[in-house]
Chains A and B, each alone.
Chain A
């Protein structure tokens, strides 16, 4: 056992010890040369110790050795990942290989499954490293959070956050519509009477301000903060961030509402004449113009999950549109009166609508089913959903913010409320910030709503802190992977699914594509024969010979099968009849 300690030392700390040791002499035992050599000795030692319990030193050594063997990692294996977190990164169901599949297919699916599982785990693990937490607001005991005023909140938080609550008094050209850019840095406001301004709202840096001397119906940022679209009295205009008019798109007239689809580079517009039009802003072409035949379109929202446009109509219906179809993808009757406003959450699961019947309703738009509704005495004129699912509703000059609306139970009490000085015209949450922008008759108000914004952004998608260079780089990348408008549909993941078109359908498509049926049989053409054997009668005779050949084949086959079956039945019945077998039958094979 004496050999153990030096060996341990050498194994933990390396060469220097060895160097200091005197050179080994021939009479010394071969001690710490090789573990495999030493092991039998050790075992022998142990057995000896068991037999006669010897000195204390030896015993302590043994204990040490034993401990070392028993000591285990208290947390063996990989760190577990909570199921909920894993669920968040799951994409679709696991693939099941049919039992009869070939070996290669099985291998490929198994390896790809393993790979996607690994990726899912890595992504779930990464969640731990996200730097920011979401905001929150909690009242004291017996204190409703909706009684807390914006001034109190602005006083309570740090200066930079406090400065996010501010008012712009613009009483001349009101009421205002507004739009935040995708990164949440830039704000665009447009007054009804022609005042358009854009600015970096965090630094309060004004980029441009002008009066277009026309009615402004809506304003919208395009893919970057370098360009924005303004729907004016007659045409649609596009300006750059310095206020220079870039385009006047005369194909788009009387536009009331606009939505920009950032991944498709499409500007969707709804007009007073009932037209829904799509403008590809990367090439400047009109992609589709759809006559909805439902009158004036002033309620519009996009589904950020699948880029489907939702339109609300005066008869209480909501219709879903894609640029590929002249008919709506779906139509829902949502309200008894006209639809006043609607909004869709970012996962594309829920839609919130408000109507003239003074109700706010929540729908599951994957199943087209209403979840719950609540009655509001004044009705909501504007709705907006934040990135983390807070719903803000504007009724007259009051904005109310609701929490947990997207669950299954209805909500009665608002989370926050704020009264403004004029009628509310536009409502939008700022992405990646706890801020709600409100455009109203007396100007613009930026309101702090703790817990509204997504705390951790992805810099490759939308980076509020990006530099000029990074923006350029992003623009090129984004243009390269511009999704074609043909791919807009209710299910954006359709492309990754197996196309299980039936044989008939594929055949039909093939016939359409080719212009003829490749599987069709050629009609029998009798050969021309000489010596008067090609008279009309003879040809007809020859034709008759092969007429209905397929049918004849089938009939022949079925008759044959039928006879065979009857034969079998006969034999069986014969056997039954001869139930009492003779003694010699047992030798029969």
Chain B
């Protein structure tokens, strides 16, 4: 007779001392783990609910300005420093970790229209309504020394925006024309104009550094190459674009914030049709900024909300608002991809988390693993109706909700009318246009 009976030595399964960690022998045999899918689904549902429970995006409010914030910029080198300009001409430098103002400069008379940091982070430029460009040292002056700009340039017309080159000592301003300046000179090296009177925004391409894009008041977006004498091409849309931002990773894409409540992502290789139309705002979009990973962007709108869009989706994944936040004028995504800064009419800069339910601070390895697991679970079951319903639900202010419904109704009415017109006219005479094609009027070379 040969017999063997299952007999386990408890020493192999129980920890040796109470200071030891518990032994957890595993067996991955699927028959020992029944109800795999329903249990995973339950976990996913719980993870989705917890994500919404922990969604507390508001981090801090930086107050101190005495008028509405008109522009914000990030420091080129330091993560914790931002510079903001207000409508009364005051510029403030902030430390984000301490959430305090480091320095206040009365830079201009009237609005500060634009700020940009030099690529090396030693100085920054401001432009204002007083027709001047001023260069300031990033370091605060010593005790008792007056705040003086390093350099002041008096222009002919009001400047509305400024951006600095990525590597060289040149910068670009816009106003009545788009001017390219050398830091050493007091007159522009080159001026571009294309039969329009004013520009609202100009941005250097972060990768192809000689390329420029600007938004003009004649509803067009104009592209320039600084090595050429004339502008490259422009695309005319149905309404004016306020600002634009280049995608930092795929720099052939840019997104513009339009007056018609939408954002448009364009591919510069094909300007005829936008790649994506991002709809969700219920009022004019005033500012847009990409995340440093180039996968998402944040937009600020006149409807008092900030929204975050994935770059390839038509609707926002997140909306931020507070009771006190008024029209949001400017918005920036921090360089560590974790925070979003919004400056609004009621004199506050607000700091938001880019991922609303993210836990801040140091995470233990187990916390990280759990967070990753939950993220994957939500992704896996994202199309199940219960999970989708919870993940999508956002509370928005009553005005926004009402206006959204109204817009929906208007859109439906327009669609119905177009359908009727098509039905009662000669076949082919009323072409079927997609949402993307509707908003571009023309592309001019």
A residues whose Cβ falls under 8 Å from a Cβ of B: 88-89, 91, 123, 126-127, 130-140, 143, 148, 152-153, 156-158, 160-161, 164, 263, 304-307, 346-348, 432-434, 448, 450, 453-461, 463-465, 467, 469-470, 480-484, 487, 492-496
Contact = CB atoms under 8 A, between A and B. Distances in A.
A126 B27 CA distance: 8
B28 A126 contact: yes
Nearest to A458: B27
B32 A461 contact: yes
Interface stretch (B34-42, B118-126, B351-359): B34-42
Contact of A458 (B7, B26, B35, B41): B26
**Top 4 nearest A-B pairs by Cβ distance?**
A161-B5, A465-B13, A138-B2, A459-B24
A89 B34 contact: no
Contact of A135 (B4, B24, B35): B4
A258 to B, nearest CB: 19
A415 B35 CA distance: 32
Contacts of A157: 3-5, 7
B222 to A, nearest CB: 32
Contacts of A455: 6
B14 interface: yes
B7 A131 contact: no
Contacts of B30: 88-89, 91
Interface string B389-416: 0000000000000000000000000000
Contact of B5 (A135, A307, A459, A496): A135
Contacts of B36: 91, 492-493
B1 A459 contact: no
Contacts of B1: 137-140, 143, 148, 152, 156
Contacts of B33: 458, 461
A304 B35 CA distance: 9
Contacts of B29: 88, 456, 458
Given A158-B7, A465-B13, A493-B37, 7 more contacts: A135-B5, A136-B4, A148-B1, A434-B5, A463-B13, A467-B14, A470-B22
Contacts of B46: 480-481
Contact of A495 (B5, B10, B37): B37
Contacts of A89: 28, 30
A243 B30 CA distance: 36
B41 A495 contact: yes
Given A143-B1, A455-B6, A458-B32, A130 B27 contact: yes
Given A458-B25, A461-B33, A453 B42 contact: no
B425 interface: no
A136 B2 contact: yes
Nearest to A480: B46
A203 B422 CA distance: 85
Interface string B36-70: 11110111001000000000000000000000000
A464 B9 CA distance: 12
B34 A492 contact: yes
A347 B29 CA distance: 11
Contacts of B426: none
B31 interface: yes
A134 B26 contact: no
A41 B42 CA distance: 68
Chain B binding surface, main DSSP class: loop
A137 B3 contact: yes
Given A456-B27, A481-B46, A483-B42, A492 B4 contact: no
B269 interface: no
B8 interface: yes
Interface in B171-202: none
B23 interface: yes
Chain A binding surface, main DSSP class: loop
Contacts of A140: 1
A223 to B, nearest CB: 14
A23 B48 CA distance: 68
Nearest to A130: B27
B445 to A, nearest CB: 30
Interface residues of B, number: 35
Contacts of A433: 6
B34 A465 contact: no
Contacts of A307: 35
Contact of B6 (A306, A347, A453, A461): A453
A481 B25 contact: no
A376 B174 CA distance: 98
Given A456-B27, A459-B26, A480-B46, A465 B3 contact: no
Contacts of A346: 31, 34
B12 interface: yes
14 contacts: A127-B28, A148-B3, A158-B7, A306-B35, A450-B5, A455-B6, A457-B25, A459-B13, A463-B13, A465-B13, A483-B35, A487-B38, A492-B36, A492-B37
A463 B14 CA distance: 11
A465 B43 CA distance: 26
Contacts of B43: 480-481
A131 B25 contact: yes
Contact of A263 (B31, B34, B41): B34
A137 B2 contact: yes
A487 B44 CA distance: 15
B11 to A, nearest CB: 10
Contacts of A148: 1, 3
A153 B34 contact: no
Contacts of A306: 34-35
A343 to B, nearest CB: 16
A469 B8 CA distance: 22
Q: Which of A160, A348, A494 has the most CB of B within 10 A?
A: A160
A157 B6 CA distance: 10
A530 B6 CA distance: 97
A492 B38 contact: yes
A465 B15 CA distance: 10
A516 B1 CA distance: 76
A487 B381 CA distance: 15
Given A135-B5, A434-B5, A460-B26, A347 B31 contact: yes
A496 B377 CA distance: 12
Contact of A136 (B3, B10, B26, B28): B3
A492 B35 contact: yes
B189 to A, nearest CB: 44
Contacts of B2: 136-139
Interface in B343-373: none
Q: Which of A89, A132, A304, A307 has the most CB of B within 10 A?
A: A132
Contacts of A432: 6
Nearest to A139: B1
A494 B38 CA distance: 9
A276 B41 CA distance: 27
A70 B278 CA distance: 61
B41 A487 contact: yes
Nearest to A477: B43
A156 B3 contact: yes
A88 B37 CA distance: 17
B42 A484 contact: yes
Nearest to B385: A499
Nearest to B9: A160
A538 to B, nearest CB: 21
A453 B6 CA distance: 8
Nearest to A115: B376
A483 B38 contact: yes
A450 B27 CA distance: 21
A456 B25 contact: yes
Given A450-B4, A481-B46, A263 B27 contact: no
Nearest to A466: B22
B5 A465 contact: no
Contacts of A138: 1-3
A454 B12 contact: no
Nearest to B41: A495
Contacts of A470: 22
B37 A460 contact: no
Contacts of A448: 5
B6 A132 contact: yes
